Amino acid sequence: MRTTMNTARRGALAASLALALAATACTGAGEVTDSEGPDLSVSTGVTDDAIVIGTHQPLTGPAAAGYMSISRGAAAVFEHVNEQGGIHGRQIDYRVEDDGYDPARTIDVTRQLVIEDEIFAMFGGLGTPTHGGVVDYLNDEGVPDVFPASGALSWNNAEEHPLTYGWQVDYTKEAKIQGEYIVENFPGQNVGYLFQNDDVGEDSQEGLDQYLTDEVVTRQHYESEVPDLSAQVAELKRSDAEVVVCSCIPAFVALAMLEAASSGYEPQWVVSSIGGDTATLQGLLATFTEGTDAEEVPADAFLDELIITSYMPRVEDPDDEWAAYFIDIYEEYGEGDPITNTHIYGMTQAVMFAQVLMSAGPDLTRQALIDALEEQEWQGPGAVPFSSSGGDHGGHQGAYIVQYQEGGNMEVLQEARVTDRDGGPIEEVDFTPLSPEELVFHD
């Protein structure tokens, strides 16, 4: 049940936040020859004592507040790995370039990383509209494209993009799990969709619509460069959507909640993993309410009873071994900012990338990395099974569901379940990751 915010909590409205790359077809998969595609026998970016990897991240722009912590978390893990002796005696040289969440800039910084920095691999390039503009280029150039930070289905296309390996649970699988949960737990209630107008929204609807049909009363989209949701939230309210599924990046989750609260509209919010970091949302809400009538309202209050899908360790769970491990690492190697689940996203990615580098062995080539990805038996730190082999580059295979309570408590509503992106069933899964002491990801 939703609780009602008092009048003081309704006085908020948000302040403003402030691709063409010519695509060439890639051929070949796995072991390739000169006639089939790029040469993967090379060790570009690898020296006797270093491995140069790169990434494009939104350190500025509309997505920065929600996502700049990802690269900070990854950097902390790589520093920790290097302090332990690195990867077969090599230090990880992690180069982060700011693309401002602008696809045109993503093209520029990616070319810089590939041509000037001569990276061994692209690691965790962030964003559906941004990374989508460079995925063909990376594959054409023979640069392993490992763990894009996005849940777009296009990362799991081994035939077209043989060097791209997804990481995040894809938007359709996650949305299927959301859709089934809503049908079972909110029967007969009106449902509204709010989504980013790109693959995020398209892929999410594909999953939700497998379970939600007559319940859906409105579908509202936003553009990531337009930080105004007044019209969309007004339509959600007018249509009497009692449950709102928000397939949104964090800034727009916060904007939607503030816009709704200002008009007395209090639906049950169901937020996908890309926007469900409660610590990041608290920071955004505090910033957006500054100077408004809601300035004295605790940001945490807006998040009460928020339902979130997740697949990683969460900073709110002190009993989780990996969460505690990451908190300790960030205290030692971080930048001094409070750790959030967004940091843990990057930290989990970094552990898994370091793990596959270890598996690739000391004679490191791009082909060795691809072989290691294909053969890896993943056992964490994520909370659900993970796939990077057998033509399935889909990454995390499912999600669990939690509900946040004002004050910081997090209740698990549904344990991890897995599914496919088509019409297959959603199934319970028995999966326990190895502990930080058991998982081998550094010397």
Q: What is the pLDDT of residues 301-313, one digit of tens each?
A: 999 999 999 999 9
Judge whether residue 8 has pLDDT over 70: no
Q: 230 and 245 in contact (C-beta within 8 Å)?
A: no
Range of lowest pLDDT (100-114, 142-156, 175-189): 142-156
What is the per-residue pLDDT across 247-279, written as a single tens digit (0 to 9) for each? 998 899 999 999 999 999 999 999 999 899 898
Domains annotated on the chain, with CATH: 50-168+316-396 (3.40.50.2300), 171-310 (3.40.50.2300)
Q: Write the burial class of residue 406 (CB in 10 Å: 0-12 exposed, 13-18 middle, 19+ buried).
A: middle
Strands (E), 187-328: 191-196, 216-222, 243-247, 268-271, 307-310
Comparison of pLDDT for 9 and 385, the residue scoring more: 385
Q: What is the mean pLDDT of residues 34-63?
A: 91
Q: What is the structure's pLDDT at 246?
A: 97
Share of the chain above pLDDT 70, in %: 92
Distance CA 206, CA 219 (A): 13
Residue whose C-alpha is closest to residue 74's, from 59, 62, 60, 61:
59
Unique residue bearing structure tokens 């969709």: 193
Residue whose C-alpha is closest to residue 342's, from 409, 252, 253, 280:
280
Quickly state the pLDDT bin for 177 (edges 50, 70, 90). Answer: very high
